[in-house]
Each structure stands twice: as structure tokens, then as C-alpha cells.
Amino acid sequence: MLRYLTAGESHGPSLTAIIEGLPANMPIVIDEVNHQLWRRQQGHGRGFRMKIETDTIEVLSGVRFQKTMGTPIAFLIRNRDYKNWVARMDPQGVKTQEVPLVTKPRPGHADLPGYLKYDLEDVRDVLERASARNTATLVAVGAIARQLLEAFGIKLLSHVVSIGSVSIERETLHPLALDEIATKAEASSVRCADPVAEQGMVAAIDAAKEAGDTVGGVFEVIATGLPVGLGSYAMPDLRLDARLAGALMGIQAIKGVEIGLGFEAARLPGSKVHDAIYHDEEKGYYRATNGAGGVEGGISNGSPLVVRAAMKPIPTLYKPLPSVDVVSREPFVAAIERSDACAVPAASVVGENVAAYVIAQAFLDKFGGDSMEEIRRNYDAYLARVKERS
């Protein structure tokens, strides 16, 4: 079973993670993990924190000579800004009168419910862990998991389809090959594959920033090369679409997830939603459309996996909303932590790597073994059987 655990605070010494369940003899390229971390820090609308941190991982265990050992992989990502926060965040220190309490919870954050749930004195104890800074570990975990997928021909890409009221039309994307969408997104400051929509998105971000406001949007993740059979219809928690939806909703600020046509399917007749099945001697079973987004009955069907996630505007505003001091109960405007005007481009990279982890987990559920060689035998034998039945 593939699983992971993360720890760390936004301004603490480091972010850490342990991954268990990857097979032995799997090649690991650390530069590729660091590249994904770099991608997460890019994008128009990002805040000052991205200029402070240059995220890279330090592997502490589980990898030897660029290959996994079949044992847990532990790594950390150091917070360079910690040196400026030692007095306020030192695990071994003693809290003094000079360390100010955060008592003004920010609307839209975990601040108030976390403060009440854990019976805390200082709201900072909530915001440090709830911070989207912790998505760096999600990206690193996914970036390691996707190296397993790439060994079996599974690839992922992400791109932004809307920011604020500016959207790219499905008709614009339709004629583009997937590798073309990926290339255009990587070259865009907002990760949008349409240059016209890109200009509107940049303008929307700039307008929000000028107004002291923030703006959200929607990104899409596409995975290709998935074999038929990842996931299961047998139990709700084993469905591939359910696992993807849960994992993507676990990313900070994500408020909605859809697979394939998603919510649009609810507005269309069934004849325009479901994908007719055809057969060809060379291709076997295939579909000419992909309204299902590559998942039917909770199982991958061999078509590209398509999932979209909606991100709310970042709740930290430079023209803050009203709040109430948790000590005095007096009204105040909410405290301001460093923030982005828009983090949708970065969220698309986070979502891409989170999806990679979920797919890798389902892949190992299906083909798992103790070594890459054993998984390869299981995988090849399964594909041969599927081909015989197609």
C-alpha cells in the first residue's frame, strides 16, 4: 500500500514527508522533483514569499545511488525564511512576552475553527500548518510518485482554464494535441494554453491586486497512458474518481472538483454525455468521445483522465474583511499575512502532482510488488490478457 505522511509549519525549520510503499529498484531523479517544486513557485500573481524560498528536497532515507530501496523514503524541504522567525517558532525555545499572540482570525481561513477545535491560545498555531506553504510537500510526494508512472508510460499535464470571469473555451482546446496544450501552458505566466485568454487572465489578476483583492479560477489535469482497470466499482472509497476528488479537495482553497464533463453533464441529455463504445481489430475497444473523463464506474477505461478543480480566491486580502478579536471580542479588520493576488497557476501544478500520487496509488493497488521488476511482470501479463479479450 502506497501512503505518505507530511509535517511542518509555514515558518518552521522545514517541511518533511515520509513515503511508504514504493517498490525497490525504482530510479529516482531528484532534479525532476526539484523542477516540480520550481514550477509550483511560478505564475503571475504570486507573492513575496516565492522570492524568499527556493524549494529543493533533501532525501534522508530510502534512496541509494539514485534508486529506491523498497523502504520508507524520508525527505525535507528547508524553510529559508525560518531564520527570521526563530524567536517566534523555535521548537526548543520558550515563549516570552515579546512574542505577540495572533488573536485576529482571518475570514476564509482555518484560523477560527482551528483555534476553537484545538483549544489554542495563539491563532498562529493554526495558520502555520493550514498554510498553503505545505503544498510544497504534496508536490514533492507527487513528483516522486510520478516517476513510477512515467516508467510505465503514464504522463500528466495541467493547465488553467479560467481565472475570475475570464475562461478558455473548450472549442479552443479541442483542436490542440495534448503535448501542444502542455507546451503552451508551460510558456504562459498563468499556465493558459490560449494566448487571448491569457491576456485577459493577467489583466484580471492585476486588477484584483490593484484593488487589494484576490481572484480564483479553475485548472485542468490530464493524464494519458492509463491502462484499463485502475480503481474499482466494488467499494466507494476504491473508486478512482472518488479518490481523485478527495485528494484534490484536500489542497488548500479548492472548493470543487469535476471529472470529464462534470457539472456540464447535469445540463445535457444522456445522448450527449455518454461515450459510445466501438471496436477495431487494431485498437480493440475504443471510444470516440471522452465525456466520462477516462473513468467509468470508478475504473479507468483507457481514455485520457480529465479532472478539473475550482480554486476560491485567496482569503488573505490587502484590504481585509472584518473580524473579531478572540480575546477581547472587539471588532477588527483581519490580520494580513503575506499573500498572493492569485495562486491558480501554482495550484494547477499542485493538482497535477497530487493526481499523480493518487494514480500511482491505484496503479500499485493493481500491479503492486516489492520491486520494479515484479511490477513490470504483473503489468505486462495483465496487458497481454486485456489484449486477448479485446
- pLDDT of 276: 97
pLDDT of 338 reads 59
Q: Is the pLDDT of residue 50 over 60?
A: no
The pLDDT of residue 29 is above 80: yes
* CA–CA gap between residue 280 and residue 287 (Å, rounded): 11
Is residue 171 very low, low, confident or very high in pLDDT (cuts 50, 70, 90)? Answer: confident
Neighbours of 271 (CB within 10 A): 7
| Strands 277-280 and 254-259, bridge-based pairing | unpaired
* Res 304: pLDDT: 97
Q: Residue 51's pLDDT is what?
A: 58
Instruction: Name the strands in the sheet holding 166-167, side by side, starting at the edge strand that comes first in the sequence.
Output: 166-167, 155-163, 217-224, 305-311, 254-259
Q: What is the CATH T-level fold of the domain 3-388, as seen in this structure?
A: Chorismate synthase, AroC fold (3.60.150)
Least Cα distance to 14 among 52, 57, 46, 62 occurs for 57
Residue 263 backbone phi and psi in degrees, to 5: -65, -25
Task: Give the C-alpha separation, 6 to 9, whole Å.
Answer: 10
Average pLDDT over residues 157-170: 94
Q: What percent of the chain has pLDDT over 90?
A: 86
Q: Summarize the confidence of residues 101-130 as an average pLDDT.
A: 95
> How far is the C-alpha of 341 from the C-alpha of 356, rounded, in Å?
27
> Which of 348, 362, 32 has its CA nearest to residue 221?
348
The mean pLDDT value for 71-96 works out to 94
* pLDDT, average across residues 232-240: 97
C-alpha cell at 301: 477505461
Average pLDDT over residues 182-201: 96
pLDDT of 47 higher than 90: no
Q: Where are the domains of the chain?
A: 3-388
Can you tell me the mean pLDDT for 55-68? 97
- What per-residue confidence (pLDDT) applies to 144? 98
Position 317 scores a pLDDT of: 81
Residue 58 predicted with pLDDT over 60: yes
State the pLDDT at residue 362. Answer: 98
pLDDT band at 220 (very low <50, low <70, confident <90, very high): very high
Quick check: helix, strand or coil at residue 122? Answer: coil
Tens of pLDDT along 186-195? 999 999 999 9
pTM of the model: 0.95
Helical residues (DSSP H) of 250-371, grouped into ranges: 344-367
Q: What pLDDT score does 333 carry?
A: 79
Ramachandran class of 135: left when φ > 0, alpha when ψ lies in -120 to 50, beta otherwise: alpha
H/E element, 169: none
Number of neighbours of residue 61 by Cβ within 10 angstroms: 12
- Predicted confidence band of residue 176 (pLDDT cuts 50, 70, 90): confident
Higher-pLDDT residue of 49, 6 = 6
pLDDT band per the 50, 70, 90 thresholds, residue 54: confident
What's the CA dihedral at 81, 84, 88, 90 to 10 degrees? 70
Tell me what the mean pLDDT of segment 137-147 comes to: 98
Task: Write out pLDDT tens, residues 328-337.
Answer: 999 987 656 5
Percent of the chain scoring above 70 in pLDDT? 96
The model's pLDDT over 264-295, given as tens digits with 9 standing for 90+, comes to: 999 999 999 999 999 999 889 999 999 999 99
pLDDT at position 336: 64
Q: What is the CA radius of gyration of the chain?
A: 22
Q: What does the alpha-carbon distance between residue 92 and residue 34 come to, in Å, rounded to a whole number? A: 30
DSSP 151: T
Point out which residues pair with 315 in neighbouring strands: none
Q: What is the pLDDT of residue 200?
A: 97
Please check whether residue 342 is in contact with residue 215, taking contact to mean a CB–CB distance below 8 angstroms.
Answer: yes
Q: What is the C-alpha to C-alpha distance for residues 22 and 355, in angstroms, rounded to an integer?
A: 16
Range scoring the smallest mean pLDDT among 63-67, 129-133, 331-335: 331-335
Give the chain's largest Cα–Cα span: 77
355 neighbors 221 (Cβ within 8 angstroms)? yes
Task: Count the neighbouring beta carbons within 10 Å of the beta carbon of residue 66.
Answer: 11
Per-residue pLDDT for 239 more than 60? yes
